[in-house]
């Protein structure tokens, strides 16, 4: 029988020699989709992209003052104190080492398998990077709540200690969120883009409490198991709120470590922390002849740091 020319599903326009080009694009797209879907904290804080360099500077400014003008006085005269001396500072966030999630697919195993493993692996690679990103940003939010003021004379972060059993009910959790909102208000933190992030345990206690009181204190749905807002801020459930003593890791060029054993709820405004991004999420693949399989590497290069500590509150069961 003479040779035939089959349709190769991985070829672009059925030409060329790279029989996996379209497969790789689909693989990469699925990794990116999973990363975006699983990433909770990414839209909740400030993100800046740089094209080169090892760090980025985030300017932080103080506040101006107002005074009643007296007829005939020169506003430019420093002795009259009309001119605001607005203080300024900066926060530098460094780029950490490359964060990667990797896997290898053995060609024979894939050929013998009765279901598609690549879609499963893409999900897991994207989920791994998203989880690490969220965990790190959450740790920085908690550290921001513990940090001193960036601007001299300004406000630092806040910690609310509710006792060992002070967050065991939905009512106590709701009260704690209102207390945190009050702290943010007292520090003139903008009321928009505020969030309260907690573990599912606290989240569903809050849902049940709000249902019991007729949902008077929040916007949400008991039927859907969802709380949208409490005290004017969006409420989010996440398994990535830190809850243990976390040590420093090799390859990190910022500070993420700390004892978070008593951390329960993170209340913050978007300006509390920032991320600087050098290399966005990307997938690379290479067939390894010596292993008769394909290596897949998903990676990004970012860094995370504190910007405005006054925008963060850590609620603890201490």
- Grouping H, G, I as helix, E, B as strand and the rest as coil, residue 185 is helix
Query: Which residue is listed with tokens 């002849």?
Result: 289
What is the H or E stretch that residue 93 is in?
strand 88-94
pLDDT value, residue 9 = 43
Q: For 144-180, write each residue's pLDDT tens digit.
A: 999 999 888 889 999 999 999 999 999 999 999 999 9
Cα four-point dihedral sign 35, 36, 40, 41: positive
pLDDT value, residue 11 = 46
pLDDT value, residue 1 = 45
Helices 200-212 & 170-186 angle (0-180, nearest 10): 100
Helices 21-38 & 118-146 angle (0-180, nearest 10): 30
What is the H or E stretch that residue 209 is in?
helix 200-212
β-sheet with 233-237: strand ranges across: 158-161, 312-316, 263-269, 194-198, 233-237, 226-230, 218-221
User: CA-CA distance, 253 to 260, in Å (whole number)?
Assistant: 20
pLDDT value, residue 225 = 62
pLDDT value, residue 212 = 55
For residue 8, the number of C-alpha atoms closer than 13 Å in the C-beta half-sphere is: 16
User: CA-CA distance, 5 to 211, in Å (whole number)?
Assistant: 65
Locate the DSSP E strands across 222-262. Answer: 226-230, 233-237, 245-246, 258-259
Short-list 272, 190, 164, 180, CA closest to 230: 180
All domains in the chain, ordered by first residue: 21-61+91-316 (3.90.1690)
User: CA-CA distance, 302 to 90, in Å (whole number)?
Assistant: 19
User: CA-CA distance, 207 to 204, in Å (whole number)?
Assistant: 5
User: CA-CA distance, 180 to 274, in Å (whole number)?
Assistant: 21
Short-list 104, 23, 19, CA closest to 291: 104
pLDDT in tens, the chain (318 residues): 455 444 444 444 555 555 455 455 555 566 666 666 678 898 899 898 888 889 988 777 777 778 777 887 888 887 778 777 777 778 889 999 998 988 887 777 767 765 567 777 777 888 888 899 999 999 999 999 999 998 888 899 999 999 999 999 999 999 999 999 999 999 999 999 999 999 999 999 998 887 655 554 455 555 566 677 888 899 999 999 999 999 999 999 999 999 999 999 999 999 999 999 998 888 777 888 888 887 888 888 999 999 999 999 999 998
């Amino acid at each position: 029988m003479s040779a035939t020319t089959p349709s190769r599903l991985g070829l672009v326009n059925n030409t060329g020699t790279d029989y996996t080009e379209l497969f790789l694009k689909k693989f990469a797209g699925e990794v990116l989709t999973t990363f975006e879907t699983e990433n909770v904290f990414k839209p909740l804080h400030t993100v800046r992209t740089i094209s080169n360099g090892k760090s980025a500077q985030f300017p932080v400014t103080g506040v101006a003052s107002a005074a009643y003008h007296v007829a005939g006085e020169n506003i430019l005269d420093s002795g009259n104190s009309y001119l605001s001396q607005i203080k300024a500072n900066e926060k530098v966030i460094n780029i950490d080492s490359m964060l990667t999630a990797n896997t290898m697919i053995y060609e024979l195993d894939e050929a013998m398998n009765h279901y598609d493993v690549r879609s499963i692996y893409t999900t897991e690679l994207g989920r791994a990077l998203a989880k690490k990103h969220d965990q790190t940003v959450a740790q920085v939010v908690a550290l921001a709540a513990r940090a001193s003021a960036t601007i001299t004379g300004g406000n630092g972060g806040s910690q609310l200690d509710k006792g060992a059993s002070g967050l065991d009910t939905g009512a106590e959790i709701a009260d704690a969120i209102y207390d945190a909102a009050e702290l943010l208000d007292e520090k003139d933190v903008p009321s928009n883009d505020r969030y309260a992030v907690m573990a599912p345990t606290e989240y569903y206690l809050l849902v049940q409490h709000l249902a019991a009181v007729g949902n008077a204190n929040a916007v949400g749905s008991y039927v859907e198991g969802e709380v949208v807002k409490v005290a004017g801020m969006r409420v989010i459930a996440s398994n990535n709120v830190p809850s243990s003593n976390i040590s420093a890791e090799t390859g990190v060029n910022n500070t993420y470590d700390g004892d978070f054993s008593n951390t329960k709820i993170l209340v913050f405004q978007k300006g509390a922390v920032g991320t600087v991004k050098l290399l966005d999420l990307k997938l690379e693949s290479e067939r390894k002849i010596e292993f008769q399989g394909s290596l897949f590497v998903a990676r990004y290069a970012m860094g995370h740091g504190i910007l405005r500590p006054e925008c963060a509150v850590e609620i603890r069961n201490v």
